[in-house]
């Protein structure tokens, strides 16, 4: 019986759970954005995860909705979570201001591009795992640039999730040519 239920869900065209990530770098280390996203139907595992995240807050890893501005939540509903433990007020302010708005705008950009159909915005949910370079605490940051990189990276990550990119064919074909950038820096003694 479970196999029949699973087969019927596949035929409905539901987005049960998709994942994606993207890296957008700027001219300065603090400008880098590398969100990881999970998206899917609200009546499935993603919706359950969103409810659990919002209802189960953890110090240093606050979960918040992506907002265009206070009182203006983006659709599809999007929850953002920090990849690192947040302990500094400045980091929190950047994360819950510039980056929160950037993620919300990136979600809308994915709707505008057609990656997320407008007809599905009330049925889907997105979880975005966010990282900020620690340099945002010590260097002079151009918040317009920071907003642009996080907005673009969010859009790209969502579009990759929807398209299922990279495909297994892309990964297998290019496996020997791909080197993790931080591993490469370690090999060169630059990190």
> pLDDT digits over 52-96, tens only?
999 988 888 889 999 999 999 999 999 999 988 888 889 889 999
Judge whether residue 11 has pLDDT over 70: no
Judge whether residue 121 has pLDDT over 50: yes
DSSP 146-158: HHHHHHHHHHHHH
Q: Quick one: pLDDT at residue 191?
A: 78
CA nearest to 77, candidates 23, 41, 52, 102? 41
Looking at the whole model, is its pTM more than 0.75? yes
Rounded to whole angstroms, the Cα distance separating 112 from 125 reads 16
Q: Is 7 domain-assigned?
A: no
CATH assignment at residue 65: 3.30.230.60
Q: Is 5 domain-assigned?
A: no
The answer to whether the beta carbons of residues 169 and 25 sit under 8 Å apart is no
Judge whether residue 145 has pLDDT over 60: yes
> pLDDT digits over 22-40, tens only?
999 989 989 999 999 999 9
Structural domain total, the chain: 1
Q: Is 39 domain-assigned?
A: yes
Rounded to whole angstroms, the Cα distance separating 173 from 50 reads 35
List all residues 6 or more positions away from 185 whose beta carbon is below 8 Å from its beta carbon. Answer: 191
Rounded to whole angstroms, the Cα distance separating 16 from 128 reads 16
Q: Is 83 domain-assigned?
A: yes
Rounded to whole angstroms, the Cα distance separating 191 from 188 reads 8
> pLDDT digits over 99-110, tens only?
999 999 999 999
Q: Is 181 domain-assigned?
A: no
Rounded to whole angstroms, the Cα distance separating 143 from 140 reads 9
Q: Which residue stretches of 40-179 are H helix?
A: 45-55, 89-94, 100-112, 143-163, 168-174
> pLDDT digits over 174-189, tens only?
999 988 887 888 888 8
Please give the distance of CA 71 from its chain centroid, rounded to a whole number.
21
Q: Is 186 domain-assigned?
A: no
- Domain around 91: 13-166
Q: Is 175 domain-assigned?
A: no
Q: Is 188 domain-assigned?
A: no
Judge whether residue 9 has pLDDT over 50: no
Mean pLDDT of the chain: 89
Judge whether residue 2 has pLDDT over 70: no
């Amino acid at each position: 019986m479970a196999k029949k239920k699973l087969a019927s869900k596949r035929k409905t065209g539901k987005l049960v759970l998709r994942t994606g990530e993207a890296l957008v770098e700027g001219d300065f280390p603090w400008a880098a954005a590398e969100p990881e996203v999970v998206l899917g139907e609200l009546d499935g595992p993603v919706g359950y995860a969103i409810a659990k995240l919002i209802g189960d807050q953890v110090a240093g890893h606050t979960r918040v909705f992506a907002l265009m501005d206070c009182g203006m939540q983006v659709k599809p509903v999007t929850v953002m979570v920090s990849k690192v433990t947040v302990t500094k007020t400045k980091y929190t302010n950047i994360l819950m201001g510039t980056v929160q708005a950037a993620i919300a705008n990136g979600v809308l950009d994915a709707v505008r591009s057609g990656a997320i159909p407008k007809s599905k915005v009330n049925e889907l949910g997105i979880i975005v795992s966010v990282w900020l370079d620690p340099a945002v605490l010590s260097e002079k940051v151009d918040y317009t640039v920071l907003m642009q990189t996080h907005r673009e990276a969010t859009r790209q990550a969502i579009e990759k999730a929807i398209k299922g990119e990279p495909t297994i064919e892309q990964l297998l074909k290019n496996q020997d040519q791909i080197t993790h950038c931080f591993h490469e820096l370690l090999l060169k003694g630059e990190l």
